[in-house]
Amino acid sequence: MTERGRASGTEVRFGTVSSDPDCVFCAIVAGDVPADVVLDEPDLLAFLDRRPLFKGHTLLVPRDHVPTLLELPPALRDPFLGAGQRLAAAMVDELGAQGSFVAMNNVVSQSVPHLHLHVVPRTKGDGLRGFFWPRTRYADGEAAVYAARLRAATPGP
């Protein structure tokens, strides 16, 4: 099955590992760039971030070159999220974290244009504060308008 990646225009083939020759995560998946692998499954790979927020900060990627969440094939959605859950549990069980920070960027602030989920161990008082982006406020009634627009634009299962 072949699909065209919307964000990058890169052709992506699912079912066999496809890659982008300019993508560092594809190079890690191929074994051309060393990484500290945390999870190694047929469709997914997780490895430690080289510049972690905290020790244990893990990146989960599909083995196929998938630029953003928008291009993730439906067959990989549950396995991808399931692996993220298992990694978050491992942060608590193995590292003694109290919880985790789980995040994903799509295009904006996405340092590598290959879908990746950050799973970061967290402990109260660890020094990570707030969010990585500026906060804003809704005017009176504006939140309901945005919610309605998003509901209308979001298809059901």
pLDDT of residue 69: 95
**Where residue 124 sits, what CATH number does that domain have?**
3.30.428.10
In a domain, 66, yes or no: yes
In a domain, 146, yes or no: no
Asked if pLDDT for residue 15 goes beyond 50, the answer is no
CB 52 within 8 A of CB 95: no
Q: Total domain count for the chain?
A: 1
In a domain, 96, yes or no: yes
24-60, pLDDT tens digit by residue? 999 999 999 999 999 999 999 999 998 898 899 999 9
**C-alpha 54 chain-centroid distance:** 17
Residue matched to tokens 């005017």: 139
In a domain, 138, yes or no: no
Tally the C-alpha atoms within 13 A of residue 154's C-alpha that lie toward its C-beta.
7
In a domain, 55, yes or no: yes
* Bridge partners for 118 per DSSP: 59, 103
pLDDT of residue 5: 33
In a domain, 145, yes or no: no
Range of the domain at 17: 2-130
Asked if pLDDT for residue 8 goes beyond 70, the answer is no
pLDDT of residue 156: 62
Report the C-alpha dihedral over residues 22, 24, 27, 28, rounded to 10 degrees.
Answer: -170
91-135, pLDDT tens digit by residue? 999 999 999 999 999 988 888 999 999 999 999 988 887 666 456
More confident residue, 104 or 14: 104
In a domain, 38, yes or no: yes
In a domain, 142, yes or no: no
Handedness of CA 28, 38, 106, 65 (dihedral sign): positive
Asked if pLDDT for residue 9 goes beyond 70, the answer is no
- Cα(118)–Cα(127) distance, rounded to whole angstroms? 18
